[in-house]
Amino acid sequence: GMNVAELPREVLHAILCQCSWQTLASASQACKLFLEHVRAIDEEPCFVNAVSPVEDKEDLETLITDLNNTMVGRPNVALLFVSGEVYDGIKKNNFFRPFQQLLPSDMHLVGASSVGITGNGPYGPSETFRRNQVSLTLIHLPKTELRSCASTNNTDFVNAFSGLKSEHGDSLIVLTTYDCKLNSLQNLLPMHNIVGGFASSKSRLFYKLGKNCRSFSHGVVGISINSSVVMMDTIISAGCKCIVPDEYTVSDVRGCNILAFRNNSGNVLPATVAFEHFGELDNAPCLGVKIESNEFLLGDYLPSGENKTEPEPEAEAEAEAEAEAEADSKDSYRMVSVVSYDFSTQSIRVNEAIPVDTKVKFFSLDPEFSQEEMAIKLGQYKAMLEAKRVLACVVFNCTGRSLSFYRKHDVTNKNITKVFGDIQISGMLCGGEISPYPAHTSDSIEGVQLEDFKCQREGDYKAFTTVFCFFRMK
């Protein structure tokens, strides 16, 4: 037969590129020719992801093995997103043991559990809810400086990443529990590439580096990436639609209840009249107020005193747990301020006192508008990249902007694949998103101006957004 050395170089290279990283490690020791090719392959970054049902340790071992068999290059980063009760189901048998046995010991693993996760399923990228699923991404990043940390103390976490600077190419992915106080996170940087999300209530965080394996229900994990071959870009979609173009000025208010406005012509309008501009209840799934400071108060549209529905017991218990967690922390962020119409006083109620003469503008989150805005932003990003190759996307999507909002499955994933094709996608549904700047665009959709978006949070924490974290070649 033909000697391997007689194969054309491009043929041998193509064959080796189909091998797993363990096979390549063995091949590199066979001869100098193989070593040369393996070193060339090792210069290329690689992302592989899969989402799969996991009921026990054996299922987790199978998932890791399958990814290992398709992984080119030795993985040095793993992103783990878990839904359902996977951890509780197998923790007695050591949840981290498959990672320790089947993956490199010096690999940085960060992850979180959530009510919903995203990953590359057998029929393409998909979003799953609450069922026992694991979305695992193995990443090989050559020529990359990595730093990771897990902490229940945000001061220690900030200190661990001190010195990071965006102008040096540093990027940071942060995953934190819902009740963790992270107001000092903004002191880490002024840094352009900091992304992540708040895991929803009753979630867990995961961390592994060497023999340090941790899972905890309160705290923060993160990993910083500084690569000479890969860049991390952030795109933010908000999809806020102005219901009326007019800007109102508050003319009569009683605490949190706005009774009357002045319009641009100076005419005083009772809240009832202004409210008629906002449309039917069914057409405004979420309603918000933009005030002078460019902040939004927003939340589920729920008229006070009418048409209320009793929450499901599970949702009610979760809401109580979240309220208790927030009450325990004086400076914890506020997730949502509900805006509603109070029929008893015929006023528009917001959960924050707004003084007289404050200028306000009303908007809603609209599913169709959100999809159009998302497509525009992803298209703009693709055009900006020109020929640069996109490798993967990690999505931090607000829980409120999933199936219940769009009434369709996998809207976010389908938008990504429509623009970027078959790339690796992973992520989780969040109880709040972290991104480097307010979601903003100057573009219009059918003449409707897209609004600046900034939630009532400290620093760079947002709600009702989708944060896209793209990895691309430099």
Give the SS3 label for residue 33.
helix
pLDDT band at 396 (very low <50, low <70, confident <90, very high): very high
> Higher-confidence residue: 208 or 131?
208
One DSSP character per residue, 147-215 reads: EEEEES-HHHHHHHTTT--GGGT-EEEEEEETT---GGGGGG-S-S-EEEEEE-TT--EEEEETTEEEE
Lowest mean pLDDT among 64-78, 252-266, 360-374, 381-395: 360-374
pLDDT band at 110 (very low <50, low <70, confident <90, very high): very high
Distance CA 29, CA 56 (A): 36
Q: What is the pLDDT of residue 301?
A: 37
- Asked if residue 434 lies in contact with residue 461, where contact means CB atoms within 8 angstroms, the answer is yes
Amino acid letter, 406: Y
Q: What is the pLDDT of residue 323?
A: 44
Distance CA 138, CA 110 (A): 11
Amino acid letter, 461: Y
Q: What is the pLDDT of residue 63?
A: 95
Distance CA 399, CA 401 (A): 5
pLDDT band at 445 (very low <50, low <70, confident <90, very high): very low
Distance CA 350, CA 334 (A): 14
Phi then psi dihedrals of residue 271, to 5 deg: -55, -30
Q: Give residue-wise pLDDT tens across range 337-370.
A: 446 677 788 888 776 677 888 877 766 677 888 8
Distance CA 248, CA 356 (A): 11
Two tokens, residue 377? 């932003």
Distance CA 341, CA 306 (A): 9
Say whether pLDDT at 6 is over 80.
no
Burial 1-39 (b: 16+ CB within 10 A, else e): eeeeeeeeeeebeeebeebbbeebeebbeeeeebeebbe
Place of tokens 């878990």: 82
> Higher-confidence residue: 162 or 25?
162
Q: What is the pLDDT of residue 37?
A: 59
Amino acid letter, 52: S
Percent of the chain with pLDDT over 90: 26
Distance CA 163, CA 472 (A): 24
**CA dihedral sign, ordered 383, 385, 387, 393:** negative
pLDDT band at 84 (very low <50, low <70, confident <90, very high): confident
Cβ-based burial of 316 (10 A; exposed 0-12, middle 13-18, buried ≥19): exposed
Instruction: Tell me how far CA of residue 97 lies from CA of 112, 183, 184, 322, in angstroms.
Output: 17, 34, 34, 32
Q: Which helix (H) or strand (E) holds 138?
A: strand 133-140
> Across 36-45, 114-123, 270-279, 451-460, which has the greatest mean pLDDT?
114-123
- Asked if residue 128 lies in contact with residue 83, where contact means CB atoms within 8 angstroms, the answer is yes
pLDDT band at 433 (very low <50, low <70, confident <90, very high): confident
Two tokens, residue 143? 């020529």
Q: What is the pLDDT of residue 90?
A: 83
Farthest-apart Cα atoms in the chain, separation: 92
Say whether pLDDT at 451 is over 90.
no
pLDDT band at 309 (very low <50, low <70, confident <90, very high): very low
Amino acid letter, 269: L
Contacts of 296 (CB under 8 A, 6+ apart): 240, 288, 289, 290, 363, 453, 454, 455, 456
pLDDT band at 19 (very low <50, low <70, confident <90, very high): low
Q: Which helix (H) or strand (E) holds 53?
A: strand 46-53
> Higher-confidence residue: 28 or 240?
240
Q: What is the pLDDT of residue 351?
A: 65
pLDDT band at 38 (very low <50, low <70, confident <90, very high): low
pLDDT band at 101 (very low <50, low <70, confident <90, very high): very high
